[in-house]
Chains A and B, each alone.
Chain A
Amino acid sequence: MGKRVVMTGNETVAEAVRQINPDVIAAYPITPSTAVVEYISQYIADGLIDTEFVTAESEHSALSACIGAAVGGGRVVNATSGQGLALMWEMLYIASAMRLPIILAVINRALSGPINIHGDHSDTMGARDCGWIQLYSEDCQEVYDNILQAVRISEHIDVRIPVIVALDGFITSHAIETLETEGDEDVRRFIGDYIPLNSILDIKNIVTYGAIDFQDYYFEHKRHQLEGLHKSAEVIKSVGKEFGKTFGREYGFFEGYRLDDAEYAIVVMNSAGGTVKTVIDDLRDKGRKVGLLKLRIFRPFPAIGIAEALKTKKVVAVLDRTSSAGAQGGPLFNEIRSALYNEPTRPKAVNYIYGLGGKDLTAEHIRGVYEALERIDKSRKIDRLVDYLNLRE
């Protein structure tokens, strides 16, 4: 049985890492993720874990060291935010192409410029096509659970792909919440032992990593990599089920909240899920048929499941905490709309950009979204495909 504890999001990440006791951590401090490496450093200083901590001189080197450590055949963890993830960008692609199971906690932060330290999803959305699995977390409980599952998912022999676990900067990273954590032994049993594969430290079986591919092989190797990412969907599902059986909290690709009989749906990721749930409860009390789809897995994108869940709705609002410059709305909106396109029946879909640079999203804004959905349904007309919430124009 787990125990109820009170922690910030950053402490939750560190607590999960303490229980995993990875072989190597390589990281560089950056707001709002800094407390993660501070907690971990203290755990090491106090002898609670015997992880090697490479205090890299930049995020680029931090992920490079993670790649080096991972080819050495052990568990590797890293944490970052915003600019840090941006600086890692080159190495993100290389880590996934080498099929290295690395866990990277990203405490979401708006990308410069202008410089801003608060939460939005421009960092992880900017890294959405780099071949990593992306898990999003509404609150501390999901942060904890996602990190433990990420170990199993990334190390699965059919997958061998690094995983980003995302949580909102400040809103989740710095807020104190209650959550249930599991016993150290139970966690260790769930994640199991690391099984090295093609270790560069295995001097009896010499490997070359990172050979140059020309026209003749690059495409084929990328295809293999995509196959691993596709296969991860099944693994994510089965690990989520097993996690439920073991610890009582089951996970799928997304959470539907009062969604089954809903006529209107709102789609969000991360901490906004809590705000939307509160508003939905109020609206349901008034007899309005509205539900939430809170996406947990953005990569690989679970298009079929989402289409199934949304195709019979009347109108869907997708909320993006990033702007995809020059595109037809945010990345989440584009994925959702595309997932619905080939369905024989499909809802009208609109997009709201919100919360850039940490701008508040309140219940009032969500009620406004709901009212717009009703209006669109009645008029069968979309005035603005992409709109903004809580923005001074």
Chain B
Amino acid sequence: MAKLKDLALREERLIGGHRLCPGCGHSIVIRQILRTVENPVVIANATGCLEVCTTVFPYSAWKTPWIHSAFENAAATVSGIEAMYRALKRRGKIKPEKEIKFMAIGGDGGTYDIGLQSLSGAMERGHNMVYVCNDNEAYMNTGGQRSSATPYGAYTTTTPVGKIKKGKQQFRKDLTQIMVSHNIPYVAQTSPARWKDLTDKAKKAFDVEGPAFLNVLSVCPTDWKIPTSMGLRITQLAHDTCFWPLYEVENGRYKINYKPKKKLPIEEWLKPQGRFKHLFQPENRDIIAMLQEDVDRKWEELNRLATYESSTA
């Protein structure tokens, strides 16, 4: 796997000047992923912060072929592009020097919710693509409404904290597991807090024949209500509390890629984030207990399924 200094020298395909917020995880994630592959990459981007902020006409921050068509259909759009690539190559109408790779990008809204059907269809059909979900746990492009990736108890504008209800009333959907159930060659959960984990997984995802899915916890300083400089450190706490375990499933084989030396209590992940602030009031402590129980149960389950193979070696 590549070294940091080699990756750093590779061409930048998502360039500066875009309008993402300071500290946004999305551009870090995509820049790191694109550096792991030397082939051309054609991207379809679902509607969302990344799409809106990188292509304000007449500007584009993309130095790689890119399309946005709608919100719920990035996977279907790539399906069509990839099918056309196969058709034209077979018919000798294009002869690329290097194989073209295909990537779809969606936020958690475009992936867990409105785009789930399109994603599922594309994965089942077996298109050769890497689907990257930039999961920041709510609809941030429209100002922070809940998604099915929003954690229990989190404040969003559609799960506000009031006299009766204290944030989101449901646990988040486990999309990574849903993707594992599609029996595709490669599924992984990762984050930009651990660059090596992210880039190794991106490389593997591009290298497999067929569909691969990367679920990336991508910090949103604006709506997680944290300082812009703290994003990756707080993301690391998602790993150290096992709220967002780093693991991969290669041809059905589970591997955990990071085990904290000391598993931290869930409070450590919740505390620095304004969206969980209300949970620390005495009357809401039971929600924190529920979250801890949920994390513990899932971490245990994952450990039953997986072997351990560090990505930081």
Contacts and interface: CB of A to CB of B under 8 A. Distances in A.
Contacts of A203: 40, 42, 65, 96, 100
A163 B156 CA distance: 43
A140 interface: no
B80 A72 contact: yes
A73 B40 CA distance: 17
A61 B121 contact: yes
Interface in B51-82: 51-52, 55-60, 62-70, 72-73, 75-82
A98 B67 CA distance: 10
Interface stretch (A51-59, A177-185, A356-364, A370-378): A51-59
Contacts of A202: 65
Contacts of B67: 68, 71, 200, 208-210
A203 B51 CA distance: 20
Contacts of A68: 44, 67, 69, 76-84
Given A210-B67, A211-B60, A60 B73 contact: yes
A207 interface: yes
Interface string A184-218: 00000000000000001111001111111110010
Interface stretch (B85-93, B255-263, B268-276): B85-93
A140 B44 CA distance: 38
A212 B56 contact: yes
A65 B77 contact: yes
Contact of A24 (B55, B70, B73, B83): B83
Given A57-B124, A64-B80, A74-B84, A208 B69 contact: no
A357 B4 CA distance: 64
Interface string B213-256: 00000000000000000000000000000000000000000000
A269 interface: no
B118 interface: yes
B64 A206 contact: yes
B70 A90 contact: yes
Contacts of B125: 54-55
A201 B79 contact: no
Interface string A84-103: 00000011001000100000
Contacts of A201: 42, 65, 81, 84-85, 88, 94, 96, 100
Contacts of A207: 65-66
Contacts of B82: 68
A73 B68 CA distance: 16
Nearest to B75: A61
B128 to A, nearest CB: 12
Assign chain B's interface to a size class: 35 or more
Contacts of A56: 76, 79, 121
A99 to B, nearest CB: 13
B69 A212 contact: no
A64 B87 contact: no
A246 to B, nearest CB: 25
B287 to A, nearest CB: 37
Given A200-B65, A209-B66, A23 B84 contact: yes
Nearest to A91: B70
A279 interface: no
A26 interface: yes
B117 interface: yes
A69 interface: yes
B76 A208 contact: no
A191 B61 CA distance: 38
Given A58-B121, A72-B81, A209 B68 contact: yes
A58 B122 CA distance: 11
Nearest to A23: B87
Contacts, number: 164
Nearest to B59: A211
A269 B79 CA distance: 36
B73 A64 contact: yes
B157 interface: no
Contacts of A64: 69-70, 73, 76-77, 79-80, 118
Given A57-B124, A61-B117, A24 B65 contact: no
Contacts of B94: 201
- A56, A67, A208, A209 — most chain B CB neighbours (10 Å): A208
B117 A58 contact: yes
Contacts of B183: none
B145 interface: no
A213 B58 CA distance: 8
A221 B86 CA distance: 32
Given A64-B73, A208-B60, A213-B57, A26 B65 contact: no
A66 interface: yes
A370 B152 CA distance: 68
A203 to B, nearest CB: 4
A52 B83 contact: yes
Contacts of B83: 24, 26, 52, 54, 65, 68-69
Given A91-B73, A203-B65, A60 B81 contact: no
A56 B83 CA distance: 12
A50 interface: yes
A198 to B, nearest CB: 10
B116 to A, nearest CB: 11
Nearest to A206: B65
A52 B128 CA distance: 14
A201 B122 CA distance: 19
Given A58-B117, A61-B118, A61-B121, A74 B87 contact: yes
23 contacts: A23-B87, A23-B88, A51-B87, A52-B83, A52-B86, A54-B79, A54-B83, A54-B125, A58-B118, A60-B73, A64-B70, A64-B73, A68-B44, A68-B67, A68-B82, A68-B83, A72-B81, A74-B88, A201-B65, A206-B63, A207-B65, A212-B57, A217-B58
Interface of A: 23-24, 26, 50-52, 54-58, 60-62, 64-74, 76, 90-91, 94, 98, 200-203, 206-214, 217
Given A67-B80, A69-B81, 14 more contacts: A24-B80, A52-B83, A54-B80, A57-B124, A60-B72, A68-B79, A68-B82, A70-B84, A72-B85, A74-B93, A201-B81, A201-B94, A206-B62, A211-B57
